[in-house]
Chain A
Amino acid sequence: MIRLYATFSVAGTLFGVDATDVQEILLPQRLTRVPLASPDVNGLANLRGQVVVTIDLRTMLGLPPLEDGIPTVNIVLRTEHGPVSIVVDEVGDVLEVHDDDLDTPPPTLSLPTRDLVTAVHKLDDQLLLVLDVKRTAQPVAA
């Protein structure tokens, strides 16, 4: 079976989410910070009248934050809790990937990433780590 993945990169690694889970791609929005929230919550954005939580994928994956001034992109995911926006470094193409190229993630993957990645696709030139949208957008206790 052919699957469509919306891809993006964080700290040089290529990630993908099921393209049907993506609502839209946005430039950085004006954010309202939320005191006492967990560190990966960047803030709240106004998406055409809807209040959307913005989550920093770098923080979630345990990576250091980008230096100031380097532009980021928001990917708005459709989730059971309504839209959730994740901040990534750069957006890539939508890729068609065949199921046969699917592999399980290596057990040596470090922890926060291992929890969120469900599979690895062997693209010709690099690897694509498939992110579990449900788990990524899951509310965590503050």
Chain B
Amino acid sequence: MDEIIEEFLVESHENLDRLDVELVELEEHPDSSELIGSIFRNVHTIKGTAGFFEFPHLESVAHAAESLLSLLRDRELELSTAITSALLASVDAIRSMLVIISDTGSDGNNAHGDLVARLHALMTGDSADHQPGADAETSEADTEIETSEIETGDAEISDAETETDDPGADHVLVAEAANTPELPEPVAEAPDSTTAPTGPADTSIRVDVGLLDRLMNLVGELVLARNQVLQHQSNSGDSTFQSTSQQLDLITTELQEGVMKTRMQPIGNVWAKLPRVVRDLATHCDKKVRLVMEGEETELDKTLIEAIKDPLTHIVRNSVDHGLESTAARIAAGKPEVGILKLRAVHEGGQVIIEISDDGAGLNYTRIREKAVSSGLITADRAGQLSDRETANLIFRPGFSTAAAVTNVSGRGVGMDVVKTNVEKIGGSLEITSQQGEGTTLTIKIPLTLAIIPALIISSDGDRYLIPQINLVEVLRVDGASTDSKLEMAGDAPVLRLREKLLPIVHLRSVLDLPDGGVNPEGVSIAVLDADGIQFGLVVDQINDTEEIVVKPLSPHLKSIGCFAGTTIMGDGAVSLILDAIGIARIGGVFLGKEHRVEAVEAVDSDDRRSRTQMVLVCTVAQQRVGIPLSHVSRLEDLPSDTIERADGTDVIQYRDQLLRLVYLGATVPGGRPDGELPEILQVLVHESHAGIHGLVVDEIIDVFEVDMDTQTGPDGVRISGVIGRRVTDLINIERLIEIAESGRSLITTGSSS
């Protein structure tokens, strides 16, 4: 495509983003002639350029919007919600046409006639002056072209800090001034002037992001080389070498900071889209919302900015939709009618903290618990024990938010669990706090940058490994003398008693299949790690030091191992592996506990939705192998068969204050009993669902396999055969099976009563 059209697209996207912000702002300050002036010029520029490039549909929409704006500017028309909405709709229409242009080179077939008519209708009465006369229009457009074309160069640079989705906009503005330039001050009376706004054009240039990435990599190399030199320096008696290497150290640090800064962008770039989102949503839900932003200038790495864009938008939508109450409810609660949604960003301790708070009703813990129980996430027993904080965290569970009120607005298939996963993917964390009746605050903490992270160096069997600081909770040494921490055995499982809590213990040597190191008489070094919210103790040979490391991606040869997150090069030039806390926990069996197991399996599913991998529990029933998706099994139990009682025409066992209905997988009749004697101890898989709690009785449990399979069902809707673990296995659709068993049961009962 022509470079000049490319430029027009980039520039127009930036202008449109600004229009979004300014139009919403205009609603709050309808009298601001500066704002109207700026909006008008913006639309005018788009119209002029569209005419020049001969994009007729684009031009007609822009023209209609411009005519409407000129009435507003001349105070011949009062701003109304309808007008703002129509103008925003024009922005959307123009944006969609720009996308078509960048794909096809023409502005498509949609003339947006409705929209143009709507804009004209809003101009009531005054149409004679402003109706586009064909002849007048052409000549007007001709004169405009020159001015708007001249403007292109400057305007593009000064607006460049606004992020767009356009591929051509893959640039970061490198500004000499640390702060982002304010929006250009519009010239007071310049109705038709297309004067280019004066911006930091002289002090900034556009740089390709690829080049910045390369620079960042090189600086990473330099940091490594510096570390190596420094290591050498401490062993060297040469004083010149020592002072030179110290200088190298200083310069490298400064260069690193400098290069990292070039990739930094103010978070305001992402926030710029939010006023529009909030406005549209508030109008849609019929709520009044004021969006307050603090710390827009807080900077973070461009890749991180990209990564938090969607989660942030989702949280904001959620806050408006679920967090804030309706106007009526607010008045009833004695609160001001307009709800406040506040975004705040600050730098704190090498992290960026983003808070999204609303002054709504707060989380309804009772309802969350009920919902979690009814959707089978936790048991009623467990729900009773949950603290408010733990309850709040339930909303991040996969399957929760979709089950929660699905509205037009928030039921878009993205749950808070996805938000959480996305934030964690970039090494961040997400926390929610809420005060009943006063509001909810979501706090996102993310690192400033990804490439260089602090990590703890540990060693095992003579090799060094790294644990990212973000996964590290604490480091401790347990010997016989310590009083507040103690290693014990719970059955055959080693546990750590730490300040009245029990943590599962995983030995790094056994996870990595390294030779057993024997018992260290001086005590055991343990790093307490957090994997996906679950803490466990990792026993290592030695805990060394923390260091800033440059993360190198893991070679594809090693990805399938699953317990390494990456590699790095140490100060002495050797390569070391970075441990993946979640992978270690998984291999170490930390996730096998009931609730965590379900979570872990579902996390795998959502990570890897396309490959449809399932964890399948394989057991035998009447000499046949059957597989049951692990996510459907809450617990495995050994239950004595002499506790079986009859109720409602079926076998039940009293189980945790509930009636566990038994479903014999080996039975020939659905809902019936297998032929022959029952064994003394029954192997029971406990399944919880909306239909109640069921115990699936099997003969023997074999193992858990990871299976790549569709969840399609066979002819009877119950089983399909496949090969799991090299043997033919029937995969069972439990829901359907229970349905059949239940219907069999009700047949029997109605039969006997009639």
Contact = CB atoms under 8 A, between A and B. Distances in A.
Interface of A: 30-38, 41, 43-46, 48-53, 55, 81-82, 84, 139-142
Interface in B191-230: 220-221, 224-225
B409 interface: no
B556 interface: yes
A34 B577 contact: yes
A126 to B, nearest CB: 32
Contacts of A36: 512-513, 561, 563
B558 A32 contact: no
Contacts of B514: 35
Contact of B575 (A45, A84, A140, A141): A45
Contact of A51 (B512, B556, B569): B569
A104 to B, nearest CB: 29
A55 to B, nearest CB: 8
Given A37-B561, A46-B575, A49-B224, A139 B569 contact: no
B726 interface: no
B668 interface: no
Which among B556, B560, B569 has the highest number of chain A CB atoms within 10 Å? Answer: B556
Nearest to B225: A49
The 3 closest A-B CB pairs, nearest first, are A35-B512, A49-B221, A44-B575
A35 B569 contact: no
A50 B575 CA distance: 9
A43 to B, nearest CB: 8
B557 A41 contact: yes
Given A32-B577, A49-B569, A139 B559 contact: yes
B381 interface: no
Given A43-B575, A46-B575, 15 more contacts: A32-B575, A34-B558, A36-B561, A36-B563, A37-B561, A46-B574, A48-B221, A49-B220, A49-B225, A51-B567, A53-B555, A53-B558, A84-B557, A139-B555, A142-B560
B557 A30 contact: no
A52 B556 CA distance: 11
A51 B560 contact: no
Contact of A32 (B220, B513, B559, B574): B574
B270 to A, nearest CB: 32
Given A32-B577, A36-B563, A49-B569, A139 B557 contact: yes
Residue of A41, A44, A140 with most chain B CB atoms under a 10 A cut-off: A44
Contacts of B569: 46, 49, 51
Contacts of B513: 35-36
Given A30-B574, A32-B576, A33-B463, A51 B552 contact: yes
A53 B560 CA distance: 14
Interface string B612-654: 0000000000000000000000000000000000000000000
B574 A34 contact: no
A59 to B, nearest CB: 13
A33, A38, A55: which has the most chain B beta carbons within 10 Å? A33
Contacts, number: 71
A81 B224 contact: no
Contacts of A31: 575
Nearest to A141: B560
A85 to B, nearest CB: 11
Interface string B528-566: 000000000000000000000000100111111101100
Nearest to A35: B512
A15 to B, nearest CB: 20
Nearest to A50: B552
Contacts of A55: 557
B452 to A, nearest CB: 14
Contacts of B574: 30, 32, 46
Interface in B503-532: 512-514
B105 interface: no
Contacts of A84: 555, 557
Contact of B556 (A34, A38, A48, A139): A139
Interface of B: 220-221, 224-225, 463, 512-514, 552, 555-561, 563-564, 567, 569, 573-577
Contacts of A41: 557-558
A35 B165 CA distance: 42
26 contacts: A30-B573, A32-B463, A32-B575, A33-B463, A34-B558, A34-B564, A34-B577, A35-B512, A35-B514, A35-B561, A36-B512, A36-B561, A44-B555, A44-B575, A45-B575, A46-B569, A46-B573, A46-B575, A49-B220, A51-B555, A51-B575, A52-B555, A81-B557, A139-B559, A142-B558, A142-B560
Nearest to B508: A35
B566 to A, nearest CB: 9
A31 B576 CA distance: 10
Q: Quick one: which of A35, A55, A84 has the most chain B CB within 10 A?
A: A35
Residue from the set B513, B558, B577 with the largest chain A CB neighbour count within 10 Å? B558
Contacts of B220: 49
B274 to A, nearest CB: 39
Contacts of A50: 552
A139 B221 CA distance: 26
B715 to A, nearest CB: 34
A48 to B, nearest CB: 8
A94 to B, nearest CB: 27
A81 B554 CA distance: 10
A117 to B, nearest CB: 21
A35 B460 CA distance: 11
A142 B561 contact: yes
B556 A81 contact: yes
Contact of A37 (B221, B558, B573, B575): B558
A34 B560 CA distance: 12
A74 B602 CA distance: 43
Contacts of B564: 34
Most chain B CB within a 10 A radius of its CB, from A36, A37, A55, A140: A36
A141 B574 CA distance: 25
B68 to A, nearest CB: 55
Contacts of B555: 44, 51-53, 81-82, 84, 139
Contacts of A45: 575
A61 B189 CA distance: 81
A37 B557 contact: yes
A35 B563 CA distance: 10
Given A51-B567, A53-B555, A139 B560 contact: yes
Contacts of B225: 49
B382 to A, nearest CB: 34
Nearest to A40: B557
Nearest to B563: A36
B217 to A, nearest CB: 9
Nearest to B569: A46
Contacts of B576: 32
A48 B575 CA distance: 11
A83 to B, nearest CB: 10
Contacts of B224: 49
A57 B512 CA distance: 24
Nearest to B221: A49
A54 to B, nearest CB: 10
- Most chain A CB within a 10 A radius of its CB, from B557, B559, B573: B557
A77 B561 CA distance: 23
